[in-house]
Amino acid sequence: MRIGQFTNAAFDPTQRPVIQPARLDHRFVSQKWQRWPYNLFSQGFLLAEAWWSRATSGPPGIKDSNQRIVSFAARQWLDAFSPSNFAWANPEVVDATLQTGGQNLAAGLQNLLTDMLEATSGRSAQSQYKVGRDLAATPGKVVARNELIELIQYAPSTLQVRPEPVLIVPAWIMKYYILDLSPRNSLIRYLVSQGFTVFAISWRNPGPEMRHTSLDDYRTKGVLAALDAVNSVCGNVPVHGCGYCLGGTLLCIVAAAMARDNDKRLASMTLFAAQTDFTEAGELQLFINEDQVAFLSDVMQVQGTLDSRQMAGAFQLLRSNDLVWSRAIRSYLLGVREMPNDLMAWNADGTRMPARMHAEYLHRLFIHNDLAEGRFPVGGRPVAMENVRAPMFVVATETDHIAPWRSVHKIHLLNGGKLTFVLTSGGHNAGIVSEPGHPNRRFRIAVRPEGGTVLSPDEWLARADRRSGSWWPVWSEWLAQHSGPMREPPPMGSARFPPLENAPGRYVHEA
């Protein structure tokens, strides 16, 4: 910290800030932080934060995992001691306490006790949202089931549909209904309304008995089994594959193997916040190196799975000032309770991952980057993304801390086919759940023709077309352009895959 800068902040009569918080740091945005002495607290903290950031950064040109861990740990420590976290140093809390006679602190204590009770009982205020009634309520039938998945076929809502169905492969780290939340913001319901026959995989929430389930099981018993059922229902037509997060990575593995084996059942590929090259996978890499994966593997061998709470803790640390401390301030110091919503209810509905599958995923993809470097084995032979010929529609989100958009952008380097790349506002979840009519949504879009020049992320950002609103209609139009003329909807299920029960099925209810 420069003494002169702090002196300016302390004695400048205009009280102009000498340092601004980062773009996504909302702790000091209130004008109340411009008052003395609170401006000294915030400015002193931001100057100290900037100093520690420089002190824990290595010399230019040197990339060292230990240095990144030290920098990350320093930021976590600083976040804990931010003046915004202390009632006496936070002008918003001080004002609220004076105005309410301390009722905000009493309400905050009640919120704390409620959270502690919910943590021990397993019940949550989000439970007012019921899966199958308020969430995952788009009409449909479960038409296939095995030990790993249920496949849901959604009922048509238009008189005619495109002949090519859409198969959605969600991440098994989340319940599939992130794409089928409330009717107003359900991507699946939207697709159905646009004249598409939609199928979605609902992954089983694994228990210890599934500890030996492999990543290849997710390929064969998951995506390929679903694809067989879709072909049985819809006939011999190509399928629009759509993968979200880890589901998108798995879809890429499946597509690369299909291309190698001359299997042409994919009409197109859509990827939502999905990485194929993991060399710049963001700060999540801080938790994933050989030592840490070895330790995690030992833990998973005992448990049989990786628990959802263990994963959630790592994700929260990536944005601790926003996901941990700022929420604690609002709830426990200001006494303001966030109103439950469908996205929060989904987020509280955690899942687990089988020990073997997760260890294989971390070693082959995160640590060794086998898919991007042409070493990922399927059926004993490696696969390559370059062999995929289906056109691609790839969506990344601006503030994604799980799949950073510059990492997602690397798909341009791995495949020379026609590729439409979209960068939308929002994060890993909110950027995808971006329904038409949602306020303040925007996105950038650019099309790279087959064999076209590969742009760097910064070049792409400068040249991409900027648009306001939701990207969903653009994707729907893109799917229609890669589909045939409308025709009668297919039946619900087939002789080989008759309907088993109503959507959302039983696997989604597994806790």
- Tokens linked to 266: 């994919």
- In terms of domains, do 395 and 453 share one? yes
Most confident of the following: 7-21, 92-106, 296-310: 92-106
Amino acid 259: pLDDT: 97
- In terms of domains, do 380 and 283 share one? yes
Q: Is residue 331 part of a domain?
A: no
Q: Is residue 332 part of a domain?
A: no
- In terms of domains, do 373 and 248 share one? yes
Does the bond joining 504 to the residue before it have cis omega, within 30 degrees of 0? yes
Q: How confident is the model at residue 51 (pLDDT cuts 50, 70, 90)?
A: confident
Amino acid 344: pLDDT: 85
pLDDT tens track for 399-443 = 998 899 999 999 999 999 999 999 999 999 999 999 999 888 999
Locus of tokens 């009280």 = 15
Longest CA–CA span in the chain (Å) reads 81
Amino acid 1: pLDDT: 46
Q: Is residue 305 part of a domain?
A: no
Amino acid 178: pLDDT: 96
Q: How many CA atoms lie within 13 A of 36 on its CB side?
A: 9
Amino acid 21: pLDDT: 80
* CATH value at residue 469: 3.40.50.1820
Interacting residues of 379 by C-beta distance below 8 A, sequence separation 6+ = 257
Which domain-ending residue is among 121, 155, 186? 121
Average confidence score pLDDT of the chain: 87
Residues 343-355, mean pLDDT to the nearest whole number: 87
Q: Which residues are catalytic?
A: 245
- In terms of domains, do 112 and 205 share one? no
- In terms of domains, do 97 and 189 share one? no
123-137, 236-250, 295-309, 455-469: least confidently modelled range = 295-309
CB 202 within 8 A of CB 494: no
Q: Is residue 300 part of a domain?
A: no
Residues 130-159, mean pLDDT to the nearest whole number: 97
Locus of tokens 């790349």 = 421
Dihedral angle computed from the Cα positions of residues 338, 340, 343 and 345, in that order, rounded to the nearest 10 degrees? 120
Q: DSSP class of residue 131?
A: B
Q: Is residue 384 part of a domain?
A: yes
129: burial class by Cβ within 10 Å (0-12, 13-18, 19+)?
buried
Give the range of the structural domain holding residue 152, as residue numbers without chain letter: 140-287+352-509
106-110, 367-371, 384-388, 428-432: least confidently modelled range = 106-110
Which domain-ending residue is among 121, 148, 163? 121
- In terms of domains, do 283 and 427 share one? yes
pLDDT tens track for 1-39 = 455 555 555 555 555 677 888 776 778 888 888 888 888
- In terms of domains, do 167 and 272 share one? yes
Instruction: Choose between 456 and 324: higher pLDDT.
Output: 456
Which domain-ending residue is among 121, 149, 178? 121
Q: Is residue 135 part of a domain?
A: no
Per the structure, the count of domains in the chain is: 2
- In terms of domains, do 251 and 115 share one? no
Locus of tokens 């495109």 = 162
- What is the rounded CA–CA span in Å between residue 74 and residue 182? 40
73-77, 187-191, 233-237: least confidently modelled range = 73-77
CB 321 within 8 A of CB 82: yes
- In terms of domains, do 356 and 254 share one? yes
- In terms of domains, do 283 and 421 share one? yes
Instruction: Choose between 244 and 306: higher pLDDT.
Output: 244
Q: Is residue 113 part of a domain?
A: yes
CB 231 within 8 A of CB 158: no
Q: Is residue 163 part of a domain?
A: yes
Instruction: Please state the length of the chain.
Output: 511
CB 473 within 8 A of CB 436: yes
DSSP 221-244: IIIIHHHHHHHHHH-S--EEEEEE
Amino acid 116: pLDDT: 82
- In terms of domains, do 114 and 153 share one? no
Share of the chain above pLDDT 70, in %: 85
Q: DSSP class of residue 501?
A: E
Interacting residues of 139 by C-beta distance below 8 A, sequence separation 6+ = 154, 155, 502, 503
**Nearest Cα to Cα of residue 174 among 266, 254, 273:** 273
Amino acid 317: pLDDT: 47
Q: How confident is the model at residue 273 (pLDDT cuts 50, 70, 90)?
A: very high
Query: Residue 334: what are its φ and ψ, rounded to 5°?
Result: -90, -15
- In terms of domains, do 436 and 370 share one? yes
